[in-house]
Amino acid sequence: MPIPIMFPIEVTSRELDARLLMAAHCAAPGRTVFLGQDRAVYRLARRWRGGIYVGKQVLVGGLKPNLTKYRVLKERGYRVLFLAEEEPVFGEEHELDREQFLQMFHPNWLDVDDVVCAWGDFSAEVFRAVARPDAPAIHVTGHPRFDIIKPELACLYESETQAIRQRFGKFILLNTKFALASNLPAFLSVKNAFTGQNEKGDTAEYWLNFHCYHARLQTAYIELANRLRKEFPGHHIVLRPHPGEDPACYNAVLGGIKNISVLTEGSVLPWLAAADVLVHTGCTTGLEASHLTPRIIQYAPDVGYVFEQHLPSLIGAVCKTLEEVVQEIRGGTRAVVEPEAERRISRIIANFSPQVVSAGRIGALVAEAAEKMPADAIRGRLAELEHLARSLVRPRNQRRRKAGGVPKKFEPFDRDAIAAKLRVLEKLVHKELRCRFISRQLVEISAA
């Protein structure tokens, strides 16, 4: 019976391609990968005795971390490889609230037979400084989402890139990240998880200011979209909200305005590859664009600095005013990653360096964990799997949440698109991959 490797997905547009790359590296004779909606994967995992779980969804951080799901899997004989979807990406010269970082994840939450996958040397040092003597092993792996921005993997989304270019022609992409202003449930969940974040001042006032800060930035980007469509009539303006934002806020103001579209569809990577210019808010999208978009601008208007990530400002130009953005688009230099910037970024995100392939490192850790599992640990219940799939036709977090109005986080799988990407990945990993679609939320990937 093959050892099951569980890959949960929370946000399809952000995570699917990186998970497929990891699955291609991890699938092997004696190991099979189940990739799907996070709740579907967790329910499936509970129906096996033993396996390997790769991700972070069974751990909920905060002042009072919730480890219930993690403990259930440990009782079922699982080994967990913790891999965060988000890590603070500050430059070393910027002060990082390490206590807040460790509220998101603490290595002492895991057992000694688990593994921590750190994005870079910096986060590994933070974890090792507080780890108990019998803490799990901490490995610097990077994250596969930064593997797939490299030129050799551009073919993975080339057809999507071409379709976007045919649809919009030349366009300027605005990437926003203001969920604390436009998505009340998201704001409350973050506020409640980190109520002790600002110990020196009034917590309620801190979160009020944080909300207002995002609201001012959101207004600034709406104003920017309107300014750019008038300054550059030959370009379309595509505003792409973060998955945690409510697009209705933008559609209410920009909907119907000529030459502006508010879109959330698909992975951001083909959009970055197709765009002439990216204007972003100082998030990791600016790093992902480094090999994909000719011109990159971080628009950071002076609306009261509270909290922004620093590393993305090392790539492209940083503009403070609308006029600076316009002039940079008209005659700015192409985005180039300087050697010193690459060194600084690679310390935070290891596979930003060309020499590190995150999916390969994680694949090796999965293989090592599988070899250590007892031979009699795997007793799969395949007869129940199809019944499970039928019960997951509409998982709860796939339904539109009417209260917040946010879009669906998990979009059902596109069978043809996944099959096409696996054919590309077969050539990269030099193995034949088999794909079995159990449902639109769950797929099994194995190697011949």
Q: Dihedral of CA 145/151/153/155: which sign?
A: positive
Per-residue confidence in pLDDT tens, the chain, 448 aa: 789 999 999 989 889 999 999 999 999 999 999 999 999 899 899 888 889 999 999 998 877 899 999 999 999 999 999 999 888 766 554 556 677 788 889 999 999 999 999 999 989 999 999 999 999 999 999 999 999 999 888 889 999 999 999 999 999 999 998 887 877 776 666 666 555 544 555 666 777 777 888 889 999 999 999 999 999 999 999 999 988 888 888 999 999 899 999 998 889 999 999 999 999 988 889 889 988 999 999 998 876 655 566 778 888 888 999 999 999 999 876 666 778 888 888 988 999 888 889 999 999 999 999 998 876 555 555 545 554 555 555 544 444 443 344 446 788 899 999 999 999 999 999 999 999 998 889 999 999 8
pTM: 0.87
Contacts with 84 (C-beta within 8 Å, 6 or more apart), sequence order: 56, 104, 105, 117, 119, 143
Domain ranges within the chain, ordered by starting residue: 3-147+357-447, 161-339
* CA separation for the pair 10, 16 (Å, rounded): 9
Return the CATH architecture of domain 161-339.
3-Layer(aba) Sandwich (3.40)
Contacts with 14 (C-beta within 8 Å, 6 or more apart), sequence order: 85, 145, 243, 267, 268
DSSP state of 425: H
* CA separation for the pair 183, 246 (Å, rounded): 6
* CA separation for the pair 135, 405 (Å, rounded): 41
Query: Do β-strands 115-118 and 295-299 pair in parallel, antiparallel, or remain unpaired?
Result: unpaired
Q: What is the pLDDT, as a whole number, of residue 206?
A: 72
Tens of pLDDT along 215-253? 899 999 999 999 999 999 999 999 999 888 888 889 999
Q: What is the pLDDT, as a whole number, of residue 400?
A: 41
Considering only CA atoms, which of 232, 296, 240, 291 is closest in space to residue 263?
A: 240
Residue 212 parent element (H or E): helix 203-231
Residue in the structure block whose two tokens are 């998101």: 104
Neighbours of 150 (CB within 10 A): 15
Tens of pLDDT along 260-274? 999 988 899 999 999
List alpha helices for 260-357, DSSP H: 268-274, 285-288, 322-331, 339-348
Helix axes 415-429, 12-26, angle to 10 degrees: 40
